[in-house]
Chain A
Amino acid sequence: MTDRSGRAGNPVSPVRETPPGSAAAPGRVAEPGPGPSGLSIETLGLSKRFGRQLAVDGVDLAVPTGSVFGFLGPNGSGKTTTIRILLGLAAASAGTVHVLGEEMPRQLRSVLPRVGALVEGPAFYPFLSGTANLLRFDAADPEAPARTRHARVHRALERVGLTHAADKPVRAYSLGMKQRLGIANALLAPRELLVLDEPTNGLDPQGTREVRHLVRSLAADGTTVFVSSHLLAEVEQICTHAAIMSAGRVVAQGTLAQLRQDGHARVRLRTPDPDDAVRVLRGLGLAAAAGQDGEVTAPLPESPAVAPQPPPEDLVSALVAAGVRVRGFAVEQGSLEDRFVELTGEGFDVAR
């Protein structure tokens, strides 16, 4: 409890006050239910303790139905543990989990048939063929109709481009082929939610593109996709929402635009009158600094909540009105990568 209240006042943690697509915070727990405005995954205060180590620490996730949700974080930040709890593979030490509007793990039997999952890499029976492996996992789902089993397996293999290798033993598959087979396993039945843990791991650029395309087409059909990744570029390309984890905590969450905005956007100005420009911008409340070759940069306020962000066009007109000759002007948005590194630490020295 103490650590959570300590975090509440932390300005670096712009965890959504009102998550997009969710109802107002109070009462939200009492009436779960996916729908156009519902959440496909919702966790409150989710924690998991292994011995003395707190692997997941008070995670509040809100994954809107219909979103492609990127679950970001360095290795060891608690992503996979969170996913295991979402799927009922591990029990939470504290907190509640709702998936597709139902409580987990209590409603596991009715929830999981509607969820396709790829957890921590694919795993198969090496001595069985790709087809036989999928038939086996499908037979484990009591709600999967046996009558359509072969057709569904065939269709799933087709979707990931593995038809040619369907009858080979998985032992002979490359890492990329296993990864595809793992994705095919997640697609055996029509799913409302897909949980994909590092789906492009081990894939060549071609395969990565195909997975991206697949995720987009699934999302277009209305499937909510929850993708964990440490590849930012991937998340930027396919996701609508994201959460960033670090050392077991969610340090930022929201739409991709919100997350980028929360990063350090800055103004970059080229002018022959740098001194005047710095004076004008400082007058407007920006910490402007002159660089080389007549370049002036000024970080915009970190978040609109902290200080009002002046529209760029107002900055230009103020500069021109003060007689500053403007040669170039740009507002550079912080990339997700900047934001990620800022929140989780540089290089291998990640928070644990």
Chain B
Amino acid sequence: MLRLLGSELAVLFRRRRTWAMLLALAAIPILIAVAVRLSSAVPPGRGPAFLDRISQNGLFVGITAMVVAVPLFLPLTVGVVAGDTLAGEAGQGTLRYLLAAPAGRGRLVLVKYLAAAAFAVAAPAAVALAGAGIGALLFPVGPVTLLSGDTIGVAEAVGRLLLIAAYLAVSLLGLSAVGLFVSSLTDVPVGAMAATVVLAVVSQVADALPQLDWLHPWLLSHRWLDFADLLRQPVGWDSFGANALLQAGYVAVFGALAYARFATKDVLS
């Protein structure tokens, strides 16, 4: 089990595509930081959240970049990895050799999900860390004033940055499970990737329609941006918990669906 997971992670993180996506994510804060550095002061209230604070404190680059990456870039990259899990192996033909090894179908689904989850952790972390790095390089870094008005030191502020990255990683776990299920339905990885990303977008569109407000609490993306509580003193864990519960529900339902589908699937590719 652990050996197969190790092998799976090695395959995932030895792929050029994985690194290209992580680098593209890391480019978001770099782009923001450079743009802010080259322009005159940003008037408050315009652009993404916290954009106006960047020139005073470089640590806000990471936070701003994460806000920017949530609607599309993070779901896009996670959709690629999660959609590729089973369909990619099937399309490539390696699935039959893994199963003949025998990897075991339940074991393979679990390992595939864990690898996709590892990417869901790596993706927001790449944004946060690249943001902190470029922010420290281009702007002054100092104590951060939180939304509650309290001020915390640099070390704690970096901790909060990573906490937000963790929040987003949890947010993406549900989408990873959806991608895993979609991936078990097809032998065409591109189709599974596209379908997963489309579902993420549809969820956000539905979340924006007031007519569907009865549906909102159940939507995958409903709490993706609810991490403001993590920028208060003391840290408010309610939204973290609610989001974790929602995502756990998606993981349970779509993980079970993926397993049920894959366990009985005829592997003919």
Interface residues of A (CB under 8 A from B): 84, 87-91, 108-109, 112-113, 115, 117, 119-128, 132, 135-142, 146, 185
Contact = CB atoms under 8 A, between A and B. Distances in A.
B15 A142 contact: no
Contacts of A88: 99-100, 102
Q: Which 5 A-B pairs have the closest CB atoms?
A: A123-B93, A140-B101, A112-B102, A140-B103, A90-B266
A178 to B, nearest CB: 11
Nearest to B267: A89
Interface residues of B, number: 28
Interface of B: 1, 3-4, 6-7, 10-11, 14-16, 92-94, 96-104, 107-108, 264, 266-268
A84 B97 contact: no
B11 A90 contact: no
B27 to A, nearest CB: 22
A140 B104 CA distance: 8
A123 B99 contact: no
B97 A112 contact: no
Contacts of A139: 3-4, 6-7
Nearest to A110: B102
A91 B10 CA distance: 31
A97 to B, nearest CB: 14
A141 B102 contact: yes
B11 A128 contact: yes
Given A135-B7, A140-B4, A141-B101, A125 B267 contact: no
Interface residues of A, dominant DSSP: loop
B2 to A, nearest CB: 10
Nearest to A90: B266
B103 to A, nearest CB: 4
A117 B100 contact: yes
Nearest to B264: A91
B231 to A, nearest CB: 40
5 contacts: A84-B267, A90-B267, A124-B94, A136-B10, A142-B107
Contacts of A89: 96, 99-100, 266-268
A180 B145 CA distance: 63
Q: Which of A109, A115, A136, A139 has the most CB of B within 10 A?
A: A139
Contacts of A128: 11, 14
Contacts of A84: 96, 266-268
B264 A137 contact: no
Given A90-B267, A122-B93, A140-B103, 16 more contacts: A84-B268, A87-B96, A89-B268, A90-B268, A108-B102, A109-B104, A112-B100, A113-B102, A123-B92, A123-B97, A128-B14, A137-B98, A139-B6, A140-B7, A140-B101, A142-B104
A121 B93 contact: yes
A127 B16 contact: yes
Contacts of A123: 92-94, 96-97
A36 to B, nearest CB: 27
A64 B107 CA distance: 33
A125 B102 contact: no
Given A109-B102, A128-B11, A142-B104, A137 B97 contact: yes
A136 B11 contact: yes
B96 A136 contact: no
A334 B104 CA distance: 46
A185 B97 contact: yes
Contact of A146 (B3, B93, B103, B267): B3
A140 B267 contact: no
Contact of A127 (B15, B97, B102, B267): B15
Contacts of A142: 1, 4, 102, 104, 107
